[in-house]
Amino acid sequence: MATKRKRRCWLMKTEPDVFSFADLVARGERGESWDGVRNYQARNTMRDDMKLGDRVLLYHSRATPPHVAGVAEVIAEAHPDPSCWDPASDHFDPKSTREAPRWFMVDIKALAALPHPVSLEALKANPKLAKMVVVQRGQRLSVQPVTAEEYAEVLAMGELQDP
DNA sequence: GCCAACGTTGGC
DNA sequence: GCCAACGTTGGC
């Protein structure tokens, strides 16, 4: 019998003016392909580590205040991000070929909004979250790991039962 | 809109 | 393979 992999948790940033948690909710069961990531570390996380059923905290950056808005689930594992091949796209990368795609994405769907969105300030004020990546100074990774404990704590702060 | 922090690029 | 210049992120 294959060993069952434990569900892992992640945090993904999005600018709500561009694509918000409400937009993800509106996508329903189809979810959304998380295209446009052009950072190698974030890409590696999506390509190598994010698996079906993993949970994602969706974080609204450049919002007032910045906050965790809701929880999503990985519904498709890594596949090439076609926006890198589109010359009209802001994310076009001439160095990425169809034979050797450089950029990958996962698909996620919304599970539940936090009844009480959790601000960055609140995250920083919680000693249990002192090591959480998103609260580290100068930290700007758009796809980052979250421990099971941190995930549970953020949901508790947001007054959401684990969906 | 500012700008500190950080990642990437490319000349050498 | 160093590192200055440049571009981007994202809190404020």
Instruction: Output the six-digit token pair for A62.
Output: 């450049």
Q: Is the CB of A65 under 7 A from strand C?
A: yes
Strand C contacts (CB < 7 A) among A residues 134-163?
140-142
How many angstroms is C1' of C7 away from CA of A85? Answer: 21
Label the pairing between strands A104-119 and A32-33.
antiparallel
Q: Which nucleotide is nearest to A41 (CA to C1')?
A: B7
Can you give the pTM of this predicted structure? 0.94
Q: Is the CB of A140 under 7 A from strand B?
A: yes
pLDDT value at position A100? 85
Residues of chain A with confidence (pLDDT) below 50: none
Q: Is the CB of A92 under 7 A from strand B?
A: no
Q: How far apart are CA A130 and CA A150, in angstroms?
A: 10
Mean of all residue pLDDT scores within chain A? 94
pLDDT value at position A29? 97
**% of chain A with per-residue pLDDT over 90:** 82
pLDDT value at position A105? 96
